[in-house]
Structure 1
Amino acid sequence: MTSYAIGHLHKVEMGADIITYLETIDATLAPFDGKFVIHGGQKHQLEGSFPGDLIVIAFPSMAQAHAWYASPAYQEILPLRSRNAEGNVFLIEGVNADHRATDILSS
C-alpha cells in the first residue's frame, strides 16, 4: 500500500546546507521509488492556520519508506535539513482506492 513521508517544516534557513540537501535528496529517493507529491507550493488557506511548508513523498510501501529514511545515503544528508529547519516528520500509510470515510468506524 502506498505510504508517505510527511514533513511540516517551518523556520527553514535557506543557506548552503539546505541547498545541498535539496540538490541531493532526489538521488536518495530513487532506489526506494520515492516521488515528491507535494513540495511546498502556494497554499490557499481555508480554515485555521498552517505556518510553514508541507512536503509529501510517496513510496510504494511502508517498508520502502522506512528503508529510505534509514538508508545511509539519506542519513548522511539528514543533518543538513535538521540543523536548518524546525518541524515534524513522520511516515504514514495511505488508504485503498475504494476507501470510504465510514471505513474507520469498523477499525
Structure 2
Amino acid sequence: MTAYALAHLRPVPPLDDGVFTYLERIQGTLDPFGGRFLVHGADAEVVEGPFEGAVVVIEFPDLDRARAWYASDAYQEILPLRTENIPGEAILVQGASPDHDAAALGRRMRALQAG
C-alpha cells in the first residue's frame, strides 16, 4: 500500500550552501526506492490555525521502501545537510487503502469508545 514521507520545514534565510547540496542530491536517494515528490517547494494556503514553513510530501510504493530509503546510506549521508540547517519534523506514514471508508471508521471508533 502506498506510503508517504511528510516533512514540515521552517527554513530561515539565508540558506546554508549545504541545503542546496541536499536538494541537488536527494532525488538520487529516492530513485532506488521508487520515491517521488508530490509536494515540494509549493506555497501552502493556510485555512486553519497557525502555520509557518513549508510542506514536503514524498510518495513511495509501500512503507517498507519508505523506511529503507530513510535508513539508506545514501540518504543518511545527506540528511545532516538539512537537519543541521532547517528546523522541522519528518514522519513516515502508510496511506489509506483505496476502499477506505471514513464513515465506517467513525462508527467503529464511536462503538469502541462507548464500550
TM category, shorter: over 0.9
TM-score w.r.t. length of structure 2? 0.86
Structure-2 residue corresponding to 1:54: 55
Which position in structure 2 is the counterpart of 1:5? 5
**How far apart in 2 are the matches of 1:25 and 1:85?**
15
After superposition, what is the alpha-carbon deviation per residue over 1:57-105, rounded to whole angstroms, capped at 9, x for unaligned? Answer: 0000100000000000000000100100111111001001221212433
Query: For the aligned residues, what is the CA RMSD?
Result: 1.4
State how far apart, in whole Å, the 2-side matches of 1:79 and 1:98 are: 38
Instruction: Considering fraction of residues, name the structure with more strand.
Output: 1
Matched, 1:25 2:26: yes
Q: Which runs of 4+ in 1 moved over 3 A?
A: none
Q: Which one has a bigger Cα radius of gyration? A: 2
Aligned pairs (5 A) from 1:1-107:
1-13=1-13, 14-105=15-106, 106=108
Secondary structure, aligned partner of 2:19: helix
**Structure 1: 5+ residue stretches without partners:** none
How many Å apart are 1:43 and its aligned residue?
1.8
Letter paired with 2:2: T
Q: TM-score, normalised by structure 1?
A: 0.93
How many correspondences in the alignment? 107
Distance 2:43 2:11 in 1: 17
Q: SS of the counterpart of 1:80?
A: helix
